[in-house]
Amino acid sequence: MIQFFHVYKAYPGDPPVLSDINLNVEKGEFVFLTGPSGAGKTTLLKLIFCAEKATKGQILVGGRNIARIRESAVPYLRRNIGVVFQDFKLLPHRTVEDNVSFTLDVLGVPRAEAREKVRRMLKLVGLEHKADSFPLRLSGGEQQRVVIARALVNDPTILLADEPTGNLDPALTVEIMDLLTQVNIRGTTVMVATHDATLLARYQKRTVRLERGQIVSDEDGVKAARRMVAG
């Protein structure tokens, strides 16, 4: 589903953010991307949804080489990728329902159909009773669930989450991670960037570790969790 072949990313005058990244994520897989701050996790996710362009190398998403994608084709690629941000990126002056249906507005889904999909998605994330609330009236966990609903409302094949629990307390973290696991079980490929070791130990999923822009380990869930516990 996602393949990186010798991918480099560098900004002029700075050392490379990513060096010789080779990675293969299968369809329906759940992958943790971990490493210290500045290791290149966010940049790697940004390359997948074309918020950044690779300096060198090839990236295939759903069989399509996005290193050579035309600017005008980027929106259509993004319609298959849901993105969850640490800082939520919700529109404060729009209701929860409007924030979630924002994606469908962009895609041109008819209003009645969009409303139905939004209701279903809010039910999935447990927020159907908050449809008319404004984001700033919600807790951090609730806001993050709105973001997840927005990212999933279009049934994307890939869900990317950049530190989705970074601002949340442990109870809310579990709530969000359980939700992401559920989404993965339904068939969506999920990549979560996190530096939270307890998450890795608890959920035991494939873990790709980045350090100074390079992949230093790529382990299955059990092995990674064992190492976390030992280390």
* Structure tokens that stand for 9 in this block: 């990313």
Q: Return the number of other C-beta atoms located less than 10 Å from residue 108's C-beta.
A: 7
Instruction: Tell me the per-residue interface mask from 5 to 24 with another protein, x by CB under 8 A, - otherwise.
Output: --------------------
Longest dimension (CA), the chain: 53
- Which of 167/204 has CB closer to another protein? 167
CA-to-CA separations, 177 to 52, 137, 183, in angstroms, rounded: 26, 22, 10
Site for another protein in 137-166 (CB under 8 A): 150, 154
Q: Does 123 bind another protein (CB under 8 A)?
A: no
Minimal distance in Å, beta carbon 83 to another protein?
6
Helix (H, G, I), strand (E, B) or coil at 18: strand
Minimal distance in Å, beta carbon 161 to another protein?
13
Question: How many residues contact another protein, by CB under 8 A?
Answer: 23
Distance of CA 184 to the CA centre of its chain: 12
Q: Does 111 bind another protein (CB under 8 A)?
A: yes
Site for another protein in 49-108 (CB under 8 A): 49, 51, 72, 75-79, 83, 89, 91, 93, 102-103, 105-108
CA-to-CA separations, 148 to 32, 127, 145, 161, 165, in angstroms, rounded: 17, 11, 5, 9, 12
Minimal distance in Å, beta carbon 19 to another protein?
25
DSSP character at residue 36: S
What are the residues facing 62 on neighbouring strands? none
- Which of 150/209 has CB closer to another protein? 150
Can you tell me which of 12, 13, 15, 110 binds another protein, judged by CB under 8 A? 110
- Which of 91/229 has CB closer to another protein? 91
CA 136 – CA 201 distance, rounded (Å): 32
CA-to-CA separations, 207 to 42, 140, 168, 197, 216, in angstroms, rounded: 15, 26, 21, 11, 11
Minimal distance in Å, beta carbon 119 to another protein?
19
Minimal distance in Å, beta carbon 5 to another protein?
25
Minimal distance in Å, beta carbon 77 to another protein?
8
Which residues of the chain form contacts with another protein (CB under 8 A)?
49, 51, 72, 75-79, 83, 89, 91, 93, 102-103, 105-111, 150, 154
